[in-house]
Amino acid sequence: MSLPLGLEVGTLLLKWHLQNTKIIKPSDSRLATQNSGPTSMSIESLDPRVTRLQIEPEPNPLPKPALDQLITFEVFHQKKEGLPFTYVGPVHAADEEIAFLFAKEQYSRRAMCSGMWIASTEHVFVSGYADDSTSVYDTMPSVYVTPEGPEQSYEIFHLKKRGKAHQHVCTVTARSSEHALEVARQTLNPAPPVVSVWIIPSIHVLRQEEDRDMWATTPEKKYREAIAYRVQDKIDRFKAEQKA
Amino acid sequence: MLENAIKDLLYKIADDQLILGHRNSEWTGFGPMLEEDIAFSSMAQDKLGHSLAFYTLLHQMGEGDPDTVAFMRNADQFHNSQLVELPIGEYDFSLIRHFLYDNAEILRFESLSQSTNEEIAKIATKLKGEVRYHVLHANTLVKQLGSATQESISRLQQSLEYALPFALGIFEPSKHEQELIDAGIYSGEAALQNQWLERISAVLEKTHLKLPEIANLQPVYGGRYGQHTEHLQPLLDEMAEVFKIDPTAEW
Q: What is the pLDDT of residues B67-86, one digit of tens each?
A: 999 999 999 999 999 999 99
pLDDT > 90: percent of chain B:
94
Q: Is B245 on the interface with A (CB under 8 A)?
A: no
Pairwise CB contact (< 8 Å): A11 & B41: yes
Q: For B100-125, what is the mean pLDDT?
A: 97
Is the full-model pTM beyond 0.90?
no
The residues near B174 (Cβ < 8 Å, ≥ 6 apart) are B5, B8, B9, B12, B180, B189, B224
* From B48, B128, B141, residue closest to A4, measured CB to CB: B48
Pairwise CB contact (< 8 Å): A102 & B144: no
Q: Is B251 on the interface with A (CB under 8 A)?
A: yes
The model's confidence at residue B118, banded by pLDDT at 50, 70 and 90, is very high
Q: Which of the residue ranges A227-236, B56-65, B138-147, B199-208 would you say has the lowest mean pLDDT?
A: A227-236
Nearest CA distance, B164 vs chain A (angstrom): 25
Task: Spell out the domains of chain B, with CATH numbers in brackets.
Answer: 2-245 (1.20.1260.10)
A213: number of Cβ within 10 Å: 16
* From B42, B52, B130, residue closest to A1, measured CB to CB: B52
Q: What is the pLDDT of residue A40?
A: 59
Q: What is the pLDDT of residue B198?
A: 98
Distance of alpha carbon A135 from alpha carbon B210, whole angstroms: 58
Distance of alpha carbon B9 from alpha carbon B22, whole angstroms: 20
The answer to whether residues A198 and A176 touch, using CB atoms and an 8 Å cutoff, is no
Q: What is the pLDDT of residue A31?
A: 38
* From B43, B48, B130, residue closest to A3, measured CB to CB: B48
Pairwise CB contact (< 8 Å): A1 & B137: no
Nearest CA distance, B31 vs chain A (angstrom): 11
Q: What is the pLDDT of residue A146?
A: 62
Q: Is A19 on the interface with B (CB under 8 A)?
A: no
Q: Is A151 on the interface with B (CB under 8 A)?
A: no
Q: Is A237 on the interface with B (CB under 8 A)?
A: no
The answer to whether residues A154 and A197 touch, using CB atoms and an 8 Å cutoff, is no
Q: What is the pLDDT of residue A189?
A: 84
Considering only alpha carbons, which residue of chain B is nearest residue A97? B140
Distance of alpha carbon B209 from alpha carbon B99, whole angstroms: 13
A103: number of Cβ within 10 Å: 29
Torsion on CA atoms A173, A178, A181, A186, rounded to nearest 10:
-80
* From A18, A217, A234, residue closest to B126, measured CB to CB: A217
How many H-runs (helices) and E-runs (strands) does chain B carry? 10, 0
Distance of alpha carbon A135 from alpha carbon B161, whole angstroms: 61
Distance of alpha carbon B58 from alpha carbon B29, whole angstroms: 33
The answer to whether residues A154 and A180 touch, using CB atoms and an 8 Å cutoff, is yes
pLDDT > 70: percent of chain B:
100
Pairwise CB contact (< 8 Å): B45 & A4: yes
Distance of alpha carbon A117 from alpha carbon B4, whole angstroms: 46
Distance of alpha carbon B23 from alpha carbon B44, whole angstroms: 8
The answer to whether residues B75 and B82 touch, using CB atoms and an 8 Å cutoff, is no
Q: What is the pLDDT of residue A25?
A: 41
Q: For B184-209, what is the mean pLDDT?
A: 98
Q: Is B114 on the interface with A (CB under 8 A)?
A: no
Pairwise CB contact (< 8 Å): B144 & A11: no
Q: What is the pLDDT of residue A166?
A: 97
Nearest CA distance, B140 vs chain A (angstrom): 7
Distance of alpha carbon B244 from alpha carbon B234, whole angstroms: 14
Largest CA distance in chain A: 80
pLDDT at B126 over 50: yes
Pairwise CB contact (< 8 Å): B250 & A234: yes
Question: Which chain B residues are closer than 8 Å to A70 by Cβ?
Answer: 33
Considering only alpha carbons, which residue of chain A is nearest residue B35? A102
Pairwise CB contact (< 8 Å): A101 & B128: no
* From A1, A8, A17, residue closest to B70, measured CB to CB: A1
Q: What is the pLDDT of residue A143?
A: 58
Largest CA distance in chain B: 53
The answer to whether residues A200 and A114 touch, using CB atoms and an 8 Å cutoff, is no
Q: Higher model confidence: residue B211 or residue A232?
A: B211
Torsion on CA atoms B232, B233, B235, B238, rounded to nearest 10:
170
Which ipTM was obtained for this model? 0.88
Distance of alpha carbon A218 from alpha carbon A115, whole angstroms: 11
Buried b (16+ CB within 10 A) or exposed e, A151-180: eeebbbbbbbeeeeebbbbeebebbbbbbb
Q: Could you read off the pLDDT tens digit of each residue along chain A, which spans 244 residues?
A: 333 433 444 444 444 444 445 444 434 433 333 444 444 578 888 877 788 888 888 777 778 787 777 899 999 999 999 999 999 999 999 999 999 999 999 998 887 889 999 999 999 999 989 988 899 998 877 655 666 789 999 999 999 999 999 999 999 999 999 999 999 999 988 888 999 999 999 999 999 887 788 888 777 777 777 777 788 888 899 899 999 8
Three-class DSSP category at A216: coil
Q: What is the pLDDT of residue B248?
A: 86
Look at residues A138, A112, A82, A97 and name the one whose alpha carbon lies nearest to residue A224: A112
Look at residues B183, B166, B173, B164 and name the one whose alpha carbon lies nearest to residue B225: B173
Q: What is the pLDDT of residues B1-46, one digit of tens each?
A: 899 999 999 999 999 999 999 999 999 999 999 999 999 999 999 9
Distance of alpha carbon B170 from alpha carbon A80, whole angstroms: 37
